[in-house]
Structure formats: structure tokens, C-alpha cells
Structure 1
Amino acid sequence: MGKTWPRRWSAAVVAVLCLLVGLSSNSGAAVPSAASAYFVDQNGTVTAFVDSDNGATTIPVGSQKIAPPGAPITAVRTAGGLSAFTVGNDGTVLKTCPTQGTVPVTDPGAAPRGAKLVAAAADGKLRLAIGGQPGFTLFMEVIDPCGTTGPKPPPAKIIVPWAPPGGDFAMATLTDGRTMLAAIDVDGALHVLWVSPTGALSDAVLSATGVATPGEPIAVTPKSDATPDTLLLFYTGLDGRVYEVRPAAPGTPVPHPAAGDAPAGARLAAATGPAGNFVAYVSKSGAVTVLPSDPTGGWQPGFQATATGIAPAGAGIAGTAAFDDDFYCGNGPRPVKIKVGPHGPGPGAVWPAGPPNMVGPTTEFAA
């Protein structure tokens, strides 16, 4: 199943795209270090969830109309707090962090407007992957996004011929310096690209073809046990079940399905915490459904964390599992926070976190 890319790809696959990278500190107000999730509201403003003892509030960070309403957004935790990245209306990659607000990290035109993007951090390094034109992904390394600014290495252009244009993907970085990019490929199979610290590429197909919709959302989380660099990938099959795969396991990973009623193309939220891992989605009935797995990777009984109709089926959702299981999504036009005990059982408390008309049916969330 796994393979090493042919030598002929070596020169063509990785090319350096030179960009001037600068930072500005006047594009938005700083947000509290307690920011727990982010989204882009219907005014095109990057907005932060800030948790409280009995709910959450939302705080705009930066200017209105800076990004497409509900735009793709990614978040990553570093020593400086929870930071987020999105692509602005002019193709500028924007970062949001607790100490600097929302500021640009590239020149305009660095990425397509509304591009998908993911971020991952390990050993103090943060990497950002940005979906681009058909067949390639921009990939750049960023120092701590809230740290001192300085020269940044230019992004590399990684050719990924099996990635559907405009599709979703996931990324993780390992302590040995390797980076994993994963997507449902053009053949409907889970496909993983490994990038070594020296830039060497290898890829592997981790499922049968035709099991999922090309380019559909997938999620990744570290496995919650003592084994370092053990990852779990989650995707939704055409049969409505959620599948779990360990991409770094010895041998050929075997997809492990759980019962479920996930809509085709549903966005997934995955997290790991003291009680284990979970993946969540908005079901066909509009309920937030949670599928926990134990530290060994076995599925625990799933449960509904909300009543039906909480959000559109398959809508954007983000989640964390530091203590309780917290979820962030949109209830009609209003952002909400949902809290349940560690891995349920549900239902949990649902708290509106902002006024009406802040989110739409396609708004994405990141935590």
C-alpha cells in the first residue's frame, strides 16, 4: 500500500515560492489568552470564543470584511495560547493570537481567497499548509505565531496530484520532524503524504478506493496514551459510519469503523484528553453526535450531545477535551458552546455565545 515517490518527481514536486513575509501589529485588538475557539463571522471578522464558568462569549478580533464570511479557519495551541489562521479577501494569510490580534503573515495574493488550510505544532515549531490551485498545497513553517517576528523561510510548493482541487485535508507534525498531510484522494481513498525534515516525500494509501467522497473533511488527533507520535485519523464513509485509522502504526493500517449517521461530507471535530479521544459531527437529524474511543483505539458507545436540530446536518464544528468535552458550532444564525462531561454521556449544556446573524450554514470553526 505504501510507496516512495519516483525520482522524476523529486525536482518537480518541491519548488520554492518566494514570498515577502511581514507582520503588522495594527490590524486588530488582542484577544484574551483564554480564547478557546475561532470562526469568521458573517461580517468577515475573525471572532474568538472566550469561555466562562457558565458558558462563553464571542469577541471580534480585528477589522470587518477582512475575510470571506464563514471562511475556512484553523487553530493550533502553542506556548502563547490558541492561535488561528485564515486567508483574507485579498489572498493574505492572516494569523490571530492572544497578544497581537489579527495580523498578516504574507503579502496579498499568497493564497486563493477562501482557501482551505490546516496548522499543526510539535516541539515549538508550527507548520501551516494551505490549499491552492488544483494539485498543489502551499506549505510553510512559522515560528511561534505569537513570538517575536523575524525572517521566515519561504513557503514550498508541494505537488499533490492525488488531492482533489479545493478539497479538505488534515496535517500533523511529529517529534522527529516529519509532517503528515492526509486527504480523501480523487479515487475516494484515504491517502497520506509524509514529508521528512530534509524534504523527502513518500505516500501511502490507507483504505480501499471508493470508501469516501473525494476531498471530504477529515480530522486528526494524537492518540491519548504514552506512545509518542501515535496519530488517529477520522473520516466518514459513504455508508454514514465514521472510520478511525492509525497512519503511523506498523504495517498497513486497517480502517476501524463505528456505527453512526454522519451525512456525506460532514465536518468532523477530533480531540484527545485524559479520558481518551473523540470525534464529533452534526448528524443527519441536526444533533451533535460524539463517538469516543479509549486509549487503545477501541470505540466506546456513542451518544448525542444535544437535541436534534441544533445545527444543519454536517455543519462546521470544533471540539476540545482538556477537561470536559467542549464543542463549538452554529445553532441557526447564532454561535453556541456545548459542554458535556468527559466523553458523556450526553446531552450536554448548550449556551448561546453571541447575537443572531453571526454565523451561516457553512461557517467553519476551529479550536
Structure 2
Amino acid sequence: MSGYRNEKTIDLGIVVLALVLTAALSLVQVRGGLALSPVVGSGTWPFDRLSFSSPLLLGFTWAVSPVSLVAVGALWWRRRRPTAVAVVAIAAATITPAVVPLIVALFTVAALRPPRTVLSVALLALLPVPVHFLTSPYVSGVPIANTVILAVLIAAAIGWGLFVRSLGERTERAEAEAVLRAQRAQREAREDIAREMHDVLAHRLSLLSVHAGALEFNAGASPQETTRAAAVIRESSHQALEDLQVVLQVLRSPAGNPGADGTARPARTGLAEVPDLVRESQDIGMKVDLDMSRVGAGGPPGIAGLAAYRIVQEGLTNARKHAPGARVRITVEGGPGDGLALELSNPAGRGAVREGIPGAGQGLIGLAERVGLAGGTFSHGRAGADYVLRAWLPWSA
């Protein structure tokens, strides 16, 4: 609703401005005026100009014809009926100096209507020019000059409208491509998670096969050994079914749909491997301060632990790319029941990317997807002079 009111306010401003400019042009117009066929209009009403003056008008005598007033008023409907408004403006400009509403109407048609309509309206607008020269071969001087000037203004208005139209189309294409890239990055992130879960599922199924084979070929096993092996098979089967459900959920869920609490999503890397990840970065010369003094024992299981590891990994990678040599501060705290909070910060770089480290900015989209699937929250951006990456992940008690 506010957008509609803004459009109406702009339209009203254009109508008022066109009226003022049309009247102001009468102060500088010479005989013949800026009309496509200046000899058509006679000195009788409604072609004659209405003159008015007032001390509020700076002492000038302002004049505008009734036909021009109609063309100016029609601009109120220029968005809803651009072609009809342009036809009215062309008809008015043929017999009266209505150059301002004509230019506005033609610009609107070029910016909003398809090329075929634009071409038809342009030909209609320029048609009076050769007709005027053919019907008045002996007219010369100012009327001809004014007609040529108006024809040039018509071409300029249509050209500018087409240029604005092309800018809008390029903007729309860029926005659509950005949405497609984000969707593709989210889909790839889900597929990566599914592949990781596939590896875990294959590991559990191989354990099932080993223990089942031991029961089959070890006929002389004691009841205790048989019971223990059966318990392992039952537990592994239960976990394998949960992992399979997670894989299906990840592949079928829409982007940003949080998954379960993550307890059934075991990962090969997790919070326990973060110190090793930091040491690897320190070994290549990065300045990294890691504070994990307020973290509970172990770490969040499943996908939450994997997400914590990936967050630190992506944060260190981005710091190397965008702020080489800067000190990175990593704070991790939390425990079972409270969740896990991570924060990575480093002085914001100036946009330079270290040579040899490619990237298209899709890593953060993948992180947001991982954290969303784990049921957590994720944010990133500038905070003063630093670039900060924050995340919260659930950690079941």
C-alpha cells in the first residue's frame, strides 16, 4: 500500500512539474512554438493560449493552451495507460506547444511497453513532421527549426526510455541469477551433508555385516558373547535406520528447514578436532587465538559437531583470503542443554583476496544451510572494524 501511495505521489509531482514547465516555455517560445505542425493551430479557442499573471508568479505573464492542459492532465494515468496517454500527447503536440507532456509520455512508453509498441508510437509521433513539410513546402525559418528540435527531443526521449528499460532488465536478470546461485549452493550443501551421512551409514552397515558373520561362523560362542554381539547388531541397526532417515530428510527438505536435534547425525569431524585445525593454520603462519576454556566435555554430537568444525574451518579460510596476516580470535563456549556458541572475528579486510585462493562467497551459504539443518542460528557481517561470524548450535543434555 505504501508503494502505491509513493507512485501516486510521484505521478502527481510529474503532472505539476509538467504544468509548470509547459507554462514556463511560453515565456521563451517565439512565433510558431514547439509544435509538430505549428500551422495547424489557429488563434481561436481551444488552440489559443490562456494567459494569466499574478504577483506570485514573479511578475511574468504565463500562458498555456487548453489542449496542452489536457495532455498534462493525462500524465496522471501514464503508468496504467502509457500508450493511450502517449497518443493523447502526440495529438496535443501536433497542434499546440505541448512538448513537455509529449516527452514524458514517450519516455514512459519506451520504459514500460514492448519494443513493437514503442516502434509504433515512435512512428506515430514522428509522422506529423514529414506531413508538415509536404503540406507547407514554403514555410521556413523559425517554424521549421522548432519542428526539427521537437523531433530530436522525441528521439531523445524514446532513446532514454529504452536505456532505462535495459538497466531494469539487467537488474532483474542479476537478481534472478543471484537467487539461482544461492539455491544451487544450498542444494550442493545438502548433497554434501547427504554424502557424509552416506559414508557413516556404510560404516554402520559394515559393522553389522562383521558382527552377523561372527555369529554365523562362531557356533561355539558362549551365551554372553552371543548376547553382546546381538546387542551390538541391534544398536547398530537402530542407528543405521536413523542415519537413513536423516539422509532422506536432508535431500527432501526445503532450504533452511531445520532438522532434528542432530543426535542421530554422527560425524567424522567435530568440536574435538578444532584445536588440530587451528594448529594447522598456525603452522602455516596464521595468528590464531583459540579459547575453548568454557566448553563442556566432548562436544555436541552428530551434525551439530560437524557444523561447529566447518564453521571454524570456513572462518579461517575467509580470514586467509580477505585479511591475510590479521589475527583471528575464536571463542567457543557452552555445554549440554545450553547449546554451543561460536564466534570468530578478525579485522575486516579491504576486499583484496590473496592470490591463489579461489572462492565465490558460497561457503557462508553452505554454513547457513548446515546450521539450519542442525536447528541452530547463524549470522555474519561487519561489527565496527572487525568482521564477525557467529553461530549457535543445539547440544542435547
TM over 0.5, yes or no?
A: no
Higher helix fraction (1 or 2): 2
Higher strand fraction (1 or 2): 1
Q: Normalized against structure 1, the TM-score is what?
A: 0.23
Q: Normalized against structure 2, the TM-score is what?
A: 0.21
Q: Which protein has greater RCO, CA pairs closer than 8 Å, 6+ apart?
A: 1
Larger radius of gyration: 2
